[in-house]
Amino acid sequence: MDQFLNLTLNGVASGAVYSALGLSLVIIYRATRVVNFAQPAFALVSAYLAYSINQATGGYWLGFAVALLAGAVMGVLTERLLVRPVRHNELGAIIVTLGLLIVLQAVAGMVWSNEPHSFPYAFDFRGDFSPNSMFVVAAVAVTAIAVLVLFKATPLGLRMRAAAFHADAARMSGVRVGLMLTLGWGIASAVGSLAGMLAVPPFIFPNVLDGVFVYALTAAVIGGLDNPLGTIIGGFVLGVGLSYVSGYLGPELVTLASLAILVIVLAVRPNGLFGKALARSV
């Protein structure tokens, strides 16, 4: 029973990270129909910036704030400079983000070296459900609720949704569609950087987020790629599920299990487990 509880709590903490990174993918996908494969690279560069600030100042939170800001800036610039010019070509946009992922990971390796550096936790990480785990879950929960409220209940969110769903109709209602898409990329990438800050410790190296990204993508697919709430739930479900796999069956099976879930969901419910049902009930 104790083990079950521990596995569940650990799963919730890692699932929170998948949720956050998955959410960042979904916000962008919903607005521009592009899966932003560069998202983990934005998070990685953000985390490296935080690492450098951390080294220079010794404090954690300034780096944390800079990381989120850097994520937003990278998202905005990418949308404006790289994605918008190819916006009529979905495949082109995906290739651009894939290329950006490779370039940014390589650049990060050149600037900060490919060797792992130790990266601090926000809070004490020792113990079963440590203060740091609580912080991870709380930070993601607050962010997720803020994003959902922003979309569902604010005029800005209404504009963003209108721009995403029906650009012409939004324009005719006076919405600056381009600005909304840019803003969406900025918000999404800031959320992605938050996920990175939470997922990176204890060590940072250029490929540190690759695994997390795969799980985040799985979470997004479970939730239905354009369903933020479904993705958040998907992330937590996946985190807990993989934690059980790791605890009861062996950690070497975790990646395989994630892949199996991805394949099964795509085969059985390509729109995601929560895809249509949730979209209708809200």
Tokens of 49: 């910036």
Q: Which is nearer to another protein, 126 or 280 (CB)?
A: 280
Instruction: Return the residue matching tokens 């995906």.
Output: 94
Burial of 160 (0-12, 13-18, 19+ CB in 10 A): buried
Residue of the chain from 58, 127, 174, 250 that contacts another protein (CB under 8 A)? 174
Report if residue 168 touches another protein, rule: CB under 8 A: yes
Report if residue 32 touches another protein, rule: CB under 8 A: no
Closest to 207 (Cα-Cα) out of 282, 105, 280, 132: 105
Report if residue 276 touches another protein, rule: CB under 8 A: no
Please tell me the count of residues contacting another protein according to CB under 8 A: 18
Report if residue 33 touches another protein, rule: CB under 8 A: no
Instruction: Return the residue matching tokens 């997720």.
Output: 144
Q: Which is nearer to another protein, 111 or 172 (CB)?
A: 172
Report if residue 208 touches another protein, rule: CB under 8 A: no
Report if residue 173 touches another protein, rule: CB under 8 A: yes
Residue of the chain from 101, 170, 262, 265 that contacts another protein (CB under 8 A)? 170
Site string for another protein, 221-260 (x = CB under 8 A): ----------------------------------------
Report if residue 177 touches another protein, rule: CB under 8 A: yes
| Residue span binding another protein (CB under 8 A) among the ranges 16-24, 109-117, 158-166, 191-199 | 158-166
Report if residue 166 touches another protein, rule: CB under 8 A: yes
Report if residue 2 touches another protein, rule: CB under 8 A: no
Q: Which is nearer to another protein, 98 or 150 (CB)?
A: 150
Residue of the chain from 82, 158, 253, 266 that contacts another protein (CB under 8 A)? 158
CB of 173 to another protein, least distance (A): 5
Report if residue 172 touches another protein, rule: CB under 8 A: yes
Residue ranges in contact with another protein by CB under 8 A: 155, 158-159, 161-162, 165-166, 168-177, 280
